[in-house]
Amino acid sequence: MAGKSTPMMEQYHALKQEAEGCLLFYRMGDFFELFFDDAKTASAILDIALTARGKDQDNPVPMCGVPVHSAEGYLARLIKAGCRVAIADQVETPEEAKQRAKREGSPVSKVLVKRDIVRFVTAGTLTEEALLEPRRANTLAAICDVRGTIGIASCDISTGQMVLQRCEHVDLNAALAQIGASEVVAPQGFEHAVDNVIERPRGDFGSDEGERRLKSLHEVKTLDAFGDFTREMLAAAGGLIAYLDHVGRGNLPLLLPPQLRANDTQMAMDEATRASLEILTSQQGGRNGSLIAAVDRCVTGAGARQLADDLAAPLCDLNAISARLALVHYFHADPLLRADLREVLRALPDIGRALGRVVAGRGSPRDLGQIRDGLADARRIRDFLGQKVDRPTLLERLLPIMGGHGALVDLMQRALVAAPPTERQNGGFIAEGYDAALDELRQVSGNARRAITSLEARYREDTGVASLKIKHNGVLGYFIEVPPKHADALMAPDSGFTHRQTMANAVRFNSLSLHEEAGRISEAGGHALAAEESHFEELTAQVVAARQAIAATASALARLDVSAGQAERAAEGDWCKPEIRADKGLQIEDGRHPVVEAALAASGDRFVANDCALSEQDRLWLIGGPNMGGKSTFLRQNALIVLLAQAGGYVPAANATIGLVDRLFSRVGASDNLARGRSTFMVEMVETAAILSQATERSFVILDEVGRGTSTYDGLALAWAVVEAVHETNRCRCLFATHYHELARLADSCDALSLHHVRAREWKGDLVLLHELAEGPADRSYGLAVARLAGIPKPVVARAKSVLDKLEKGRAETGGLAAGLGDLPLFAAVGEAEEESAGDHLRERLASYEVDAMSPREALEALYELKKHAKSTEI
């Protein structure tokens, strides 16, 4: 017969059912415990011991646990591993549980403390400082389909920023790639393929309910002041807020008024383009090697997050771009002003995220102190910059936003100590002099502690026990402790001491005087803690009431940090201020790739700059030349220069004039997508198809080696057709790199196409890559020379040369690609390879001689040696 579950296990199973597939952190004393499969999963991820606790239904219960005080670090590792966690905490004290048992008539000895899920911890709903990356936003997105159009609501709850937008089904993955969401929620049965989506009830995604909740949240009767939101946007917003309500168990985080993101205000980039250009992450998945790593000179986490948002969503509005560039130029032109500003910014706390924790109900006295100090520094920056003349328009708009917090700052400067603690349970964060009654309670408590010190000295004198001590712990409170050998003196009935506990190395006692003093400390301390808690709630309420103004100040400071950081990067790298126009040109002089240039500089090498000049009459460049010659780098650097310019920053070039780009496309590099059943060639064709169907006359496209993933004739035919389509149909600005020399003939029929190549030379059998771009077609591909550089064995290279000669001869004579290969001896190239190897050896020996340092006899011996070697190898 199967055994029964214990009351604790019954409580656990009920909470686990509520956890909806999340790992359950079950609070037991000072630990969060995990049981059954949760314990197995967590122990493997966290590398902690898996044990067992009793039995459930006669089966041992797997168990592991983590300390409550250090749970954040373990949570971070679980979230990073893709887990979601439900926190089941105690919602009553043991004493309250006993009182409840008495009221219910239940046995007090068997009462179980009530527990409830107080919060879900998921990748997109983190606010804790220890769980977040300071320089990276943490975005949650909700998506919903309404009548064939997708609505997207996204937010970073650590700062409260919320954005609503819409897109077509075909653009959804591109939109989500731009958002970079850590977590995506969608209604049950959502048909579009989205990775790692969390499904929620369809009823949460109602547009009417979304509109109602937004109005209620921001206490308005209409949303018109925030933007003209569509039904699909409001439906997505409803799903987002419902999910946040669910994971917070009714406690919503900071959500600022939603911003409308119109599709025509930002440069469009698809998922493949973002991956190819490595904007925020490199191909290896980290920040190193990405564009932002090469550009970011921000001194605050908020500034770095704003820069990432700028690079992920470059602008398409000339006035907005010009405003950002003018502010960067303002700081670039005044190095002393820039240095002074950055020094102040560097010391700023992250007030945006501190505000997010306070509004979410997870704030600490330290968070309040950070908001106080950040707002005070913002006022200093406003006064400092306000004294300058000829301020740009964007700075004029930012300065007023950083003021207006005087009363709140003054209040918190009086109320809080200089460095408030991270925990509020033990008090000590309200400044002396702010509350006279609190000061008196602290004095009473302090006097009582001094009385206990005096009492300890008197007891030592009265008993003659010099080692007597008065101690305190959380279980016994205050007690007197002596070594066992002195315990008899305190055990006497008339000693005035009462025995409490005997231990191996100590005996503990109480006394009436100690009990009275301890009572005074406890009472005063309790009242003091209650008073501090009351003040904390009052200060929190003041901050919450001013949340929108505080968030606006945080955003203004981040924009200043981005602008000053962009100016610093420009000065450091000798970058130029780009000129953005409404035409369709692209003129870049001495352009460089910011990431590659930084990598070369680190190794002491110099980057070779190149020009790019596209216009209405010369909008498509066909670029040939050897692998490793710099074609892909040239393509990408021009795309990145366009992106940086429209993000509102300086660019790595001597001069740049850029016609506004509406869509940026990059088809560079080879990769497969086995998860979606796509080969390398299929991925290439899918990405090329997206370009041909979406690129407009205002777009900028870079294409590298289209057609290489299939047979030579198929690839050439596809590349030929794609070039014609780009030229005749899309009519966009395009850089097209290829090894198909036959494409050069298109210059005769495509009037806006010009031929270019990256220069290379062979010198004494070695390939010298010049990384320079020149006009005209490439004379050859140098593939065999590159293979030799890569370390392909010399016999293989020699064999390839023989095959190549036959191919070229056959094509010249018969027009057939493989003509003449039938009579090619299989091992004919071996002798050629050995001959070439012997010749290489002689050249190496000759190069090793220092002729000027040799004596006549040494020179003669060397000559005889070379003659002997030449004869033996029959060269």
* Binding residue ranges for ATP: 625-632
Q: How far apart are CA 519 and CA 448, in angstroms?
A: 9
Q: Decide if 634 contacts 758 (C-beta within 8 A).
A: yes
Which one-letter DSSP state was computed for residue 98? H
Q: Decide if 81 contacts 19 (C-beta within 8 A).
A: no
In this structure, how many other beta carbons lie within 10 angstroms of the beta carbon of residue 134? 12
| SS3 at position 277 | helix
Nearest to 174 by CA among 148, 147, 152, 155: 152
Helices in 483-573 by DSSP H: which ranges?
Answer: 487-491, 512-545, 547-573
Q: Can you say which residues are annotated as belonging to the binding site? A: 625-632
552: left (phi over 0), alpha (psi -120 to 50) or beta: alpha
List of residues 6+ apart from 32 with CB closer than 8 A = 25, 26, 65, 66, 67, 68, 71, 87
Q: Decide if 658 contacts 579 (C-beta within 8 A).
A: yes
Q: Which two tokens stand for residue 24?
A: 């359950």
Q: Decide if 616 contacts 556 (C-beta within 8 A).
A: no
Q: How far apart are CA 98 and CA 102, in angstroms?
A: 6
One-character DSSP codes across 440-508: HHHHHHHHHHHHHHHHHHHHHHHH--TT-EEEEETTTEEEEEE-GGGHHHHHSTTSSEEEEEE-SS-EE
Nearest to 629 by CA among 779, 767, 744: 767
Helix (H) or strand (E) holding 230: none
In this structure, how many other beta carbons lie within 10 angstroms of the beta carbon of residue 848? 8
Question: What is the chain's percent helix, strand, coil content, to nearest 5?
Answer: 50, 20, 30
| SS3 at position 19 | coil
Q: Which two tokens stand for residue 223?
A: 């949303």
Beta bridge partners of 35: 63
Which one-letter DSSP state was computed for residue 741? G
